[in-house]
């Protein structure tokens, strides 16, 4: 298991200084926001070349909506994700984090053909993931589906739901990630959910129960980390959370806290 952090959580005037601080704080990897990533590609690549920090993942940042109401919106999401998959591969990363949709359903009720909008969305996402998955296989970076909590989306809230989508897609480079903040809301048992979904998890987001740094809330990291170690998880776990107070004190403190369980 390796610790990463999103670049916007790090102090520093530019990406080189942020990466320098990430290494100093004890991180192994860097996750970046996907918005306008092509414009930052060379800067990030050059900064990583002079550091022990490795590129982990791209977090969203693409246009459109995979479950949007119109074809143009869905096509924009597909093409945006493809672009980020290629950049991620070129930087040596694991993959692109993809939330199928936020908020309420955008696709209208199609009664009397199908009265269950969730089923329409599920079928649609599977076909989109087949398109994306074949491209991801070619470039060698993952489409990483992220289940998020019910207050942020109506669709795909649990790891089990994400795994079911991946099984129906049936393509190697379509997998899921586990986010401790969302799991704290949606999963009855975080360790059990990780155990059951382990074969499909290629990335993890770390945050405590209050979406602050690990160690600042009441989430238990010890037992879930035991599961991850037993299942042989080797990829990154990235900080996606608020940083309270001075990051030069809070970030290394949180890293040290987690390494006790790693």
In this prediction, residue 66 carries a pLDDT of 98
In this prediction, residue 111 carries a pLDDT of 78
The yes-or-no answer on residue 146 being catalytic is yes
In this prediction, residue 17 carries a pLDDT of 98
Choice among 31, 186, 187, 240 that is catalytic: 240
Please tell me the distance from the alpha carbon of residue 134 to that of residue 40, in angstroms, as a whole number: 26
Please tell me the distance from the alpha carbon of residue 16 to that of residue 220, in angstroms, as a whole number: 33
Residue pair 249/216 in contact (Cβ under 8 Å)? The answer is no
Please tell me the distance from the alpha carbon of residue 233 to that of residue 3, in angstroms, as a whole number: 12
Number of domains in the chain: 1
Q: By three-state DSSP, how is residue 157 classified?
A: coil
In this prediction, residue 117 carries a pLDDT of 87
**Per-residue pLDDT tens digits of the chain, which is 262 residues long:** 999 999 999 999 999 999 999 999 999 999 999 999 999 999 999 999 999 999 999 999 999 999 999 999 999 999 999 999 999 999 999 999 999 999 999 998 787 787 788 899 999 999 999 999 999 999 999 999 999 999 999 999 999 999 999 999 999 999 999 999 999 999 999 999 999 999 999 999 999 999 999 999 999 999 999 999 999 999 999 999 999 999 999 999 999 999 999 9
Domain, as residue range, for 250:
2-259
Q: By three-state DSSP, how is residue 143 classified?
A: strand
Q: Cite the beta strand spans of 160-224 per DSSP E.
A: 174-179, 201-206
In this prediction, residue 113 carries a pLDDT of 80
Please tell me the distance from the alpha carbon of residue 262 to that of residue 24, in angstroms, as a whole number: 19
Short-list 218, 197, 222, 193, CA closest to 208: 218
In this prediction, residue 260 carries a pLDDT of 95
The yes-or-no answer on residue 195 being catalytic is no
Choice among 31, 128, 146, 187 that is catalytic: 146
Residue pair 239/9 in contact (Cβ under 8 Å)? The answer is yes
Q: Which residues neighbour 60 within 8 Å (Cβ) at sequence distance 6 or greater?
A: 33, 34, 96, 97, 98, 99
CATH code for the domain of 222: 3.20.20.150
């Amino acid at each position: 298991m390796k610790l990463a952090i999103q670049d916007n959580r790090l102090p520093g005037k530019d990406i080189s200084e942020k990466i320098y601080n990430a290494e100093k704080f004890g991180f192994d990897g860097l996750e970046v926001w996907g918005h306008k990533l092509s414009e930052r590609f060379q800067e990030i690549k050059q900064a990583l070349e002079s550091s022990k920090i490795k590129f982990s993942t791209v977090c969203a940042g693409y246009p459109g909506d995979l479950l949007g109401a119109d074809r143009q919106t869905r096509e924009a999401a597909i093409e945006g994700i493809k672009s980020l998959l290629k950049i991620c591969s070129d930087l040596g990363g694991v993959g692109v984090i993809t939330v199928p949709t936020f908020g309420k359903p955008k696709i209208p009720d199609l009664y009397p053909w199908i009265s269950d909008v969730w089923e329409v969305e599920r079928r649609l996402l599977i076909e989109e993931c087949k398109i994306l998955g074949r491209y991801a296989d070619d470039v060698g970076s993952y489409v990483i589906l992220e289940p998020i909590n019910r207050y942020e989306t109506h669709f795909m809230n649990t790891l089990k739901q994400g795994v079911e989508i991946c099984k129906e897609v049936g393509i190697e480079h379509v997998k899921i990630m586990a986010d401790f903040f969302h799991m704290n809301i949606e999963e009855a048992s975080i360790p059990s959910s990780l155990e059951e979904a382990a074969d499909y998890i290629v990335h993890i987001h770390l945050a405590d129960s209050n979406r602050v740094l690990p160690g600042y809330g009441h989430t238990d990291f010890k037992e879930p980390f035991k599961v991850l170690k037993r299942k042989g998880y080797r990829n990154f776990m990235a900080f996606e959370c608020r940083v309270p107070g001075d990051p030069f004190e809070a970030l290394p403190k949180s890293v040290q806290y987690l390494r006790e369980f790693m």
